[in-house]
A and B are shown apart, each in its own frame.
Chain A
Amino acid sequence: MTRILVFLEHDENGVTDLSLQALALAGSLGGEVEALLVGQSLAAAVEVALAHGAAQVLTVEHATLANYLAGPVSSVVAAVVTERDPVLVLFQASTVGNDLAPLTAGRLEAACLVDCDGVERAGNSWRLLRTEFDARVRAAYQPEGTGPVLVTLKDGVAEVRATAGGGDVIPLDLSPAGGATGEVLRREVVKKTVNLKDARVIVGGGAGVGSRENFALLERLAEKLGGEIGATRASVDAGWVSAERQIGQTGVTVKPDLYIACGISGAVQHLVGIRDARTVVGINSDPSAPIFRVSHYRIVGDLTSVVPKLIELLG
């Protein structure tokens, strides 16, 4: 029986959606699905894992694992992989998974690939699929040799599935390897209050918006269109808008019917988050801004005059 181990990320909102997608994908590949939870106070997360297809949930509870940090967590994950001997280990393509999987692979000298958007069986091995070169090609990778294969999975690999539940919980008596490993001093994260993923209309604001007052203009436009506000990292960093609205590589991926990009240059780290937007309107004073390459409507102009006009026209 092939065993697939799924590392689950969890935070104060519970097990992450990407983690549940990974569980669903593991279930579809056939074999015995084991989930791994590392941290502290894991009871609620265990229940969620059991209700989403994990035949077994392995837990490692330890005070020093309360805050994710690559070093200690990967020492534990490496020990679990060695002990349970899975053929495939699934992680999430997040700032945790893309941090943890390669380090664990380095420790184990195992095969690893990040940012996959598909995993298929290929005989006794796997075919790992990944979108590359600005979504121009789909690359297929083939792990070679023996030993576990570590993979991080992007949003959208599978539909989250609730299952009948049941299954065993196996607490593992492991502690992070000793030695100096570092410390998370503090986190500045915002609580999630909006669901940009399901928004039909998003008005995105970038550095070109220029001020919090101008950002209020975008909010009015979004309101008129029944949409939400989105942002680039630049405007989040400027403090005009909360980090939960950041779209892109380290933000959320959205798929609205309409995305209005205001004062956004169109850096690849932002564009990866709006690739599935149906219609894109770009408003930018620079006629050669890269955002126009993905825009269905191109408005070259100053957003502080264009946006008020749009609001006015909307009545």
Chain B
Amino acid sequence: MSYHIIVVVREVWDTRDLVGEPLGLDGVLKPLPRRFDPEDLNSLEQALQIKDREGGSVTVLSVGQPGEVDVLRECLYRGADEAFRVTTDEDLDTGARAALLAAAIRRIGAHDLVLLGVSVPEGENSLLAGELAGRLGHAQLTYVDSLTELVPGQVTCRREIEMGSEFVRLPLPAVLALGVYLLKDDPRTPRAAKAMLKLKLKKAPIPEWSAAELGLAGEPRRMRLAGLTALPQRNVETHDVDAGSEAALAALLRDIR
């Protein structure tokens, strides 16, 4: 049995090594380095593994022009079959992005799964999966750790919840937001780009659709960023404690008790 999977991908600000003041003097966030959203990369890997195992196709979709990383091309280099970009020249809110993606997904046509990433907190809000599923009328599951069974017409997933997890079966097509938690040497670790595909697809055209081409007149903005203020940073002064010195450990215990 083969499955048609759509993976929705993007690049995000890399907040891993933020140091210093987050805002410039103008009160605007300083530009940060960007990377392929790691959660989306995990979702892509899940899709590719299903294709490797069961056959079918993987289509990738993104909204907006590439910044530092061309995520769509990176997907092609890893084995995605087709890529589409939705172009816009505005900064959209999540609802508007979901409307564009829903229209693009309808244009792509029949599919079994739509995969997205569940974002990490603190800086990105994981709204899109729901906003998209609501517009498409598909079943939805978020905080998905793994797909435990995929058979024609239905998927079973393990979903992370407070105090444990649950196993949920959904009819297809379904929208899944994956927060894949990788263990050491996890077989779900994303594959690297393949040099051969890079050579072959470096210049491959990626079709672009504008909102108008998707039949949308422009979605109203419902949520506007009205301001940013820097938060006082907790200054952690780190003291090194020599693990091999009993005296140092004893001093530590005196300090902290």
Contacts and interface: CB of A to CB of B under 8 A. Distances in A.
Q: Do A and B belong to a common assembly?
A: yes
B213 to A, nearest CB: 21
B100 to A, nearest CB: 13
Given A112-B222, A298-B241, 5 more contacts: A99-B142, A112-B223, A140-B225, A237-B183, A272-B122
Given A182-B170, A189-B161, A143 B223 contact: yes
A136 interface: yes
B231 A189 contact: no
B226 A268 contact: no
10 contacts: A71-B139, A71-B140, A95-B159, A98-B126, A105-B131, A109-B95, A127-B226, A138-B228, A184-B166, A187-B167
A298 B161 contact: no
B169 A182 contact: yes
A305 B142 CA distance: 40
B222 A111 contact: yes
Interface in B124-164: 125-135, 139-143, 156, 159-164
Interface of B: 13, 15-16, 18, 22-23, 29, 94-95, 98, 120-123, 125-135, 139-143, 156, 159-171, 174, 181, 183-184, 220-231, 233, 236-241, 243-244, 246, 249-250, 252-253, 255-257
Nearest to A138: B229
A22 interface: no
Given A103-B130, A268-B122, A298-B241, A186 B166 contact: yes
Interface string A108-133: 11111111000000000001001111
Interface residues of A, number: 92
A108 B130 CA distance: 11
A141 B142 contact: no
A115 B226 CA distance: 16
A79 B66 CA distance: 39
B223 A141 contact: yes
Contacts of A141: 223-226
B160 A95 contact: yes
Question: Most chain-A CB neighbours within 10 Å: which of B126, B162, B223?
Answer: B162
Given A102-B129, A305-B243, A111 B95 contact: yes
Contacts of B181: 233, 237
